[in-house]
Structure 1
Amino acid sequence: MSTVLVSLSSFGAAEVGRHGQLWYAQLAKSAGADSVEVRGEMLRDAATELPALAGLASVYSSPEGLWAEGGWLDSAALGRGIAAATTLGAKRLKMSIGDFRASSHGSLWGLKVQLSETRIELLIENDQTVSAGSLPALMTFFNAAESAGISLGMTFDMGNWHYVGECPIEAAKALGKRVRYVHCKGVQRLPAKWVAVPLAESAAPWRALFRVLPADVPRAIEYPLMGDDLLAVAREQIAFVRAL
């Protein structure tokens, strides 16, 4: 059976803002989650929240991109992510590539040096932008990183491919060997946008996608967990994802 995490964003920004990530991390663990993913964008006071969450999280999600606008390596953002993951006791840091472009290739050596100085594993996520979440952008980045002697794993977000108009199954075939962690996310199309939904309600062929993705990597719930009995809802969804 799979290792199952809950991304704390699943509980909604407003609710997490009201109760804090520690409250929801404890709820997720009580519901049977193996661990949680702490979200940097939802921290109210990192200096107190991160130490309080220590031991509960195995992934820290940074809202910052590795390359800042203009294509320069944001080593400070990477440093903040590594520091947060270290405080949490999390082994993995999740980031997007940001504004990586042709002019950025020369700065890959800086990334290699910075990663050589930490035991935190950096995982690259496909986000909801064409520049950092499309298959061509990610293939270009991973190939450039390999050429620079940097071997990076990936967080594969099942739902985000739809936001950039791409096929998740084709992406999984191209990137599957790099996948170390899967964000489980169903999607439905509204008139103006895609929205995240539970897998069972998804309009996408998620079962076929799981057959292409590695079966032995951790999976995180990253779709809305809502209901009057939130513990029961979380317990049901964790069991559902674990059994896939």
Structure 2
Amino acid sequence: MTVILNTWVFEALVKQGTSQVALTQHVADLGADGIEVRREYFTDIAQETAEIGKLAKQLGLIVNYSVPDEVFTPTGELNPQLPTYFAEGQAMGIEKIKFNTGHFDRFTGDLAAALGQLPLDQIEMNVENDQTPVSGTVAAIEAFLTAAHQATSADIGYVYDLGNWAFTQGDAAASAQALAADTHYIHLKNTREEQDKLVTTADLDTGIYDWRELLKLLPHDVPFALEYPMATDAEITQQLQLLRAEVGD
């Protein structure tokens, strides 16, 4: 199996000023297969993307890219920033780039032409269920993926984010079943209610979801990412071992 560490795992270090370049080495030292870089954590994008790309290649790490932006703007246009995000990804040598769908429901243009502007033959684009009613429903994701697969032969897929279903009050099991065929990547985190609000926990085994049962509904031949803050390397190592023991090699 392939296990990626999303850099949210190192939230405390990032807040202390640790760069994602340094975290690339840290991910390798912890024994993960790759790093998922978060765009919002950059301080100097041009410099850091180039350095991450060089270092990850030396270390043999997979690099994926999480971009907190949408494919379609609120007016239904293809996001004009997408080529920039793909160029940043190319500098890092990424395999996958992840967005939110956004307002595909308002798109009225030529989808084949729109997607044809992007280097989808070089980088796999995925959309994730986020924590909004716009992009965080099965219907919204299915609508975009169905249209995209009709418009292009590019391998556009879906990132199943377990913890986010709690925030949209979605059915995590039914969603897994509905979207399993399009699932190219799985983000794992658990969620619980704390003082009348939902919070992400630091342990897969703590929260409202039985993640082991849910994984039975999803493919196992795709990469998995741990995506929740943890305080120590010991905790990260334990969670990596927990996941690997369940899914296997």
- TM value normalised by structure 2: 0.89
Greater helix share, 1 or 2? 1
Question: Is the CA contact (8 Å cut-off) linking 1:187 and 1:194 kept in structure 2?
Answer: yes
Instruction: Name the residue aligned to 2:96.
Output: 92
- Residue of structure 1 equivalent to 2:240: 238
Q: Is the 8 A contact 1:28 1:234 kept in 2?
A: no
CA–CA distance in 2 between the matches of 1:124 and 1:3? 19
Q: Which amino acid aligns with 1:113?
A: G
Residue identity in the other structure for 2:92: L
Tell me how far apart the structure 1 counterparts of residues 230 and 196 of structure 2 sit (CA, whole Å): 23
1:240 and 1:109 map into 2 onto residues whose CA distance is 42
Please report the RMSD computed on the Cα atoms of aligned residues, expressed in angstroms: 1.7
For structure 1, the residue ranges without an aligned partner over 5 or more in a row are none
For 1:45, give the aligned amino acid. D
* Partner SS, residue 104 of structure 2: coil
> Where do 1:100-115 residues align within 5 Å?
100-101=104-105, 103-115=106-118
Per-residue deviation, 1:206: 1.3
Share of identical aligned residues, percent? 32
134, 137, 151: which one pairs with 2:137?
134
Match in the other structure for 1:70: 75
In the TM superposition, what whole-angstrom CA distance separates every residue of 1:182-217 from its partner, at most 9, and x where no partner exists?
Answer: 001111112443211121112112111010010111
Matched position secondary structure for 2:177: helix
CA distance, structure 1, for counterparts of residue 206 and residue 119 of structure 2: 42
Residue 68 (structure 1) shift: 1.3
Question: Aligned in 2, Cα 1:82/1:116: closer, same or farther, shift over 3 Å?
Answer: closer
Q: Which segments of 5 or more consecutive residues in structure 2 lack a partner in the other structure?
A: none
What TM-score, normalized to structure 1?
0.91
How far off is 1:98 after superposition? Answer: 1.6
Deviations 1:115-160 (A, max 9, x none): 4564111011111111011112112222222332455211111111
1:152 matched to 2:156? yes
Aligned match of 1:49? 48
Q: 1:107: Cα distance to partner? A: 4.1
Pairs aligned (count): 237
1:125 is aligned to 2:142: no
Amino acid at match of 1:123: N
Q: 1:212 aligns to what SS in structure 2?
A: coil
